[in-house]
Amino acid sequence: MTLAAPIRVAVQALAALTLGFLVLPILAVVPASVNPLSHLRIPPPGVSTRWYREFFRDPEWLTSLGNSVRVALLTTALALVLGVLAALGLERLGGRLRQVFTGLVLAPLIVPVIMTSVALYYVGQRAGLVGTTLGMAAGHTLMALPFVVLNVGVSLHGLDPMLPRAAEGLGASPWHAFRTVTLPLILPGVVGGAVFAFITSFDEIVISIFLAGVGAKTLPVKMWEVIRVEITPVAAVASTLFVALTVVLFWVVRRVGARSDAPEGAPAR
């Protein structure tokens, strides 16, 4: 179908506007972060690394960045182990049971986060987990788990169930068959799930505010605290780091996904 020229221009303009609406607010933090002035201004009157130096010199910002990375890595590890096991189990369950358990696993996506946070705070305080890396990671794992289960589930669904069977018939133990056949074939889902888990944890704020205490303040919590007092360009620096990290991680997912989509890696039949 070919559209008349004016309509085509209008459609393209609308698409460009939508894209701008989606992306510009996110990208706006980049020029804001190189701003040499002591307050935010877009566009910046010049380019300076002043606020980057500020960020990397301030032990509080660095500590919160370190906390965030530690919590996100621990969350990713926990969510991967639990999520892959859950996805394997769900794939084996039949019919109604699978639906019920899938619903339970996905519940953290649907239940309002504030409710989850209050509940976690309540339990976490009694268990002495508030303000600890472990407590924070446990809370984040709850939010990250659905992404791992969904991503790995999609990969598992596309896996021929005869493959692990064939491996066992050739003498492999179930664990060996999983390691050498199932895992390499669901790797794109596992990597995708890991990236989602990492990002979910890295930019989680609601649960984090409740569980941070003084000992486990993550980068978003620190940003929130700072911005409440004054709108400083250092927050724009932190935001820019977020954007950069997200872009890099999604590039990784694309790479892994593209490799397994390549014709030589495609499943038989």
Q: Which C-beta is closer to other proteins: that of 128 or that of 169?
A: 169
Does residue 168 belong to the site contacting other proteins (CB under 8 A)? yes
Taking a C-beta distance cutoff of 8 angstroms, is the pair 75, 201 a contact? Answer: yes
* Piece of 62-70, 124-132, 180-188, 241-249 that binds other proteins (CB under 8 A): 180-188
Could you say whether residue 166 binds other proteins (CB under 8 A)? yes
Q: Identify which range of 146-154, 174-182, 196-204, 233-241 contacts other proteins by CB under 8 A.
A: 174-182
Cβ pair 87, 149 in contact under 8 A: yes
State yes or no: residue 163 binds other proteins (CB under 8 A): yes
* Position 184, amino acid: P
Residue 72 beta carbon to other proteins: minimum distance, rounded to whole angstroms: 29
Among 33-41, 196-204, 210-218, 257-265, the segment contacting other proteins (CB under 8 A)? 257-265
How many angstroms separate the CA atoms of 157 and 88, rounded? Answer: 10
String of b and e for 127-146 (b: at least 16 CB within 10 Å)?
eebbbbbebbbbbbbbbbbb
From 12-20, 43-51, 102-110, 164-172, give the range in contact with other proteins by CB under 8 A.
164-172
List 176, 224, 243, 250, residue binding other proteins (CB under 8 A)? 176
CB of 170 to other proteins, least distance (A): 4
Yes or no: say if 191 and 73 are a contact pair by the CB < 8 Å rule: no
In b/e form, how buried is each residue of 18-30, taking b as 16+ CB within 10 angstroms? eeeeeeeeeeebb
What three-state secondary structure class fits 217?
coil
Residues near other proteins (CB under 8 A) are 160, 162-163, 165-173, 176, 180-181, 184-185, 263-269
